[in-house]
A and B are shown apart, each in its own frame.
Chain A
Amino acid sequence: MSDVAVNDNRLAVLDHSRLRAKESKSGSERGRISVRDVDIVFDTQSGPHVAVKDANLTIQPGEFVCLLGPSGCGKSTLMNTVAGFVSPSQGEVLVDGKAVTEPGPDRGMVFQQHSLFPWKTVKENVAFGPLMAGTGQNEANSIARTFLSLVGLAAFENAYPNTLSGGMQQRVGIARALANYPSVLLMDEPFGALDAQTRIMMQENLLEIWSEFRNTVVFVTHDIDEAVFLSDRIVVMSASPGRIIADIEVTLPRPREQSLLTSPDFMKLKRQCLDLIRRETLNAFQQQNKVG
């Protein structure tokens, strides 16, 4: 593939997404998330387990927010209430003013791994959302091709997912979620299973794609570097029960590249997050010791 051809392809993608943004006239105003006084309690065999307690959070349209916290702090659970997979026991979750009751194509999901349909080719996976929305087969295929070139996998449209590497599969997953032009993109530790080098490249790639769409992103991670590198805001959570303990604004300039990872500003933010999480972890340890 020559440079010119690829650049043309890329322009086509941009036109496509701008067109869609205009079509839905609210455009960049879609994707406001409000989490109000949310408690999430699960019934377990040893009694009720409070996964999330008193969560309050407002996310502006087009904001890139990371939910950061240790494993088991309820950050994925909180995001799943926005996705509509989990209903809050108390409080409510609104997306664009509407209470979330079930999953929907306006909120695209990217899962940790192995979430592509293994019996569908890469193209069929990406075309699935548009097809479900009632788009014709030809149009759905052309949308799929558009998004596959956006993530750089146009050449693999007829491959089955099990022939792709983990990083490539996740890029297909991102393309599949974006193919519905969601106002919110929900990402549940999408790069957690990738090796460090691939992960950094995926992060840069994601930011670049996001800069074209500017939709709201909620990104769950336990990796501090990842949270600081990607987000406009970091919402830090602590474990048992899962609570929001800090809301840190990240003012690092965009576009961001790998070199940022060693800059003093980056280090300062990272230290801030580290201190917060360390203090919380210590508290948790002390509480456990008291109980024990």
Chain B
Amino acid sequence: MDTKSNVAFKTPEPPVLEVDSSDQGPVSGEQESPGAVAAVDRMPERVAPAPAMLWLKTTGVRYGIRTLALVVAVVLWQAASTSGLHFYINFENIPAPTVVWSALITELTGQEFYLHILHSMERVAIAYGLAVVLGVLLGVAMGRSRWAEDIILPYIELLRPIPAVAWIPLAILMLPTEQASIVFITFLGALFPVVLNTVHGVEQTNSVLVRAARSLGASRTAILWHVILPGAMPSIVAGLAIGMGVAWFSLLAGEIISGQYGIGYYTWNSYTLIQYPQIIIGMLTIGGLGTLCTLLVRFACKPLLKWQAKGGRS
């Protein structure tokens, strides 16, 4: 990348003028290099098709392979179910994808299924919202203050390995409503990844940047806001995405408590009623919703990380 400056400075007089105009020269001359994207708006149009083709060749092909990988699994499952495979793993009672599909169509025409989804979404939203706010606050406090870390970390280390299911009895005993118990269990699941990733991000703060900010007259609050939080953001966003996955994971455990609605309840209830296709529908719905919400989190956080992309321009 330094070559650009070399060229830029080769004609030193008058430097400001030459520097300015020739800095752009080499940029448009090396369109294929990733660093040149800084001058994206000055690129001639004729290079535009090249990235599109490149996308098809790399990203397009890769998504094709991913879809194919899932299709293969469905085909194998269909074959195993219809032939009643029983070789250590027993497929005799497992409904085939076609059976699950027709059951799903029936569910989608009714109202009940959507209510289950709605209730689960509501619980995840409340629990995750709380976990994000409290998790980031605790994480920043622990990352910045040794006191806070020494006081809070033992709790986190001790409680983190306890699986969501193990919390069910205490949650029922301690909290006033079923809803509160389920939200609490989901909240705990999401909290730990958010806290730990925030701590990690804050502790990674680049000390040179803190010094630079101080010498530019920044107060402690300004340093937190302009240096520490943005620097920790990649790690925090990773924590938010993991936290969302774990929230759905924990939700299922929590909804075993519930007697009314929720996709976890739906799945568990289908098992007690021996409705096998519905079990699979419930499982895949949880997987699908979890993935969708994680993608949403990543998408929503993208503007916070746009500076990481090479050549990112606002």
Contact = CB atoms under 8 A, between A and B. Distances in A.
Interface of A: 1, 3, 6-7, 10, 83-85, 102-105, 107-109, 111, 114-121, 128-129, 132-133, 149-156, 158-160, 162-168, 176-177, 180, 186, 194-195, 197-198, 200-202, 204-205, 208, 257-258
Contacts, number: 164
Given A6-B17, A119-B307, A162-B307, A194 B2 contact: yes
Given A167-B4, A198-B2, 15 more contacts: A111-B212, A115-B209, A115-B212, A118-B308, A119-B233, A128-B216, A132-B219, A149-B16, A152-B20, A162-B307, A162-B310, A163-B37, A167-B9, A194-B5, A200-B9
A117 B2 contact: no
B208 A111 contact: yes
23 contacts: A7-B17, A105-B216, A108-B216, A111-B208, A114-B208, A115-B211, A117-B230, A119-B231, A128-B218, A132-B216, A132-B217, A132-B218, A149-B16, A150-B16, A152-B8, A159-B313, A162-B308, A163-B310, A168-B4, A168-B5, A176-B216, A201-B6, A205-B19
Interface residues of B, number: 47
Contacts of B231: 119
Contacts of B2: 165-167, 194-195, 198
Given A165-B5, A201-B9, A152 B16 contact: yes
Nearest to B206: A114
A183 B67 CA distance: 63
Contacts of A176: 212, 216
A197 B6 contact: yes
Contacts of B308: 118, 162
B216 A163 contact: no
A257 B222 CA distance: 41
Contacts of A121: 314
Q: Which 3 A-B pairs have the closest CB atoms?
A: A201-B9, A167-B5, A152-B19
Contact of B8 (A102, A114, A162, A167): A167
A193 B2 CA distance: 10
B312 interface: yes
Interface in B211-230: 211-219, 222, 226-227, 230
A205 B9 CA distance: 9
Contacts of B19: 151-153, 205
The dominant DSSP class at the B interface is: helix
Contacts of B213: 117, 128
Interface string B216-258: 1111001000110011010000000000000000000000000
Nearest to A83: B215
B8 A111 contact: no
B12 interface: yes
B288 interface: no
A204 B9 CA distance: 10
B38 interface: yes
Contacts of A162: 307-308, 310
B7 to A, nearest CB: 10
A1 B21 contact: yes
Contact of A103 (B4, B214, B227): B214
A243 to B, nearest CB: 25
Contacts of A156: 23, 38
A155 B213 CA distance: 24
Nearest to B34: A163
A118 B16 CA distance: 24
B70 interface: no
B12 A258 contact: yes
Nearest to A168: B5
B179 interface: no
A108 B214 CA distance: 10
Contact of A165 (B4, B10, B310): B4
Contacts of B1: 164-166
Contacts of A152: 8, 15-20, 23
Contacts of B313: 158-160
Contacts of A155: 20, 23-24
A153 B312 contact: no
Interface in B89-145: none
Contacts of B212: 109, 111, 115-117, 176
Contacts of B227: 117
Nearest to A195: B2
Nearest to B18: A152
B281 to A, nearest CB: 43
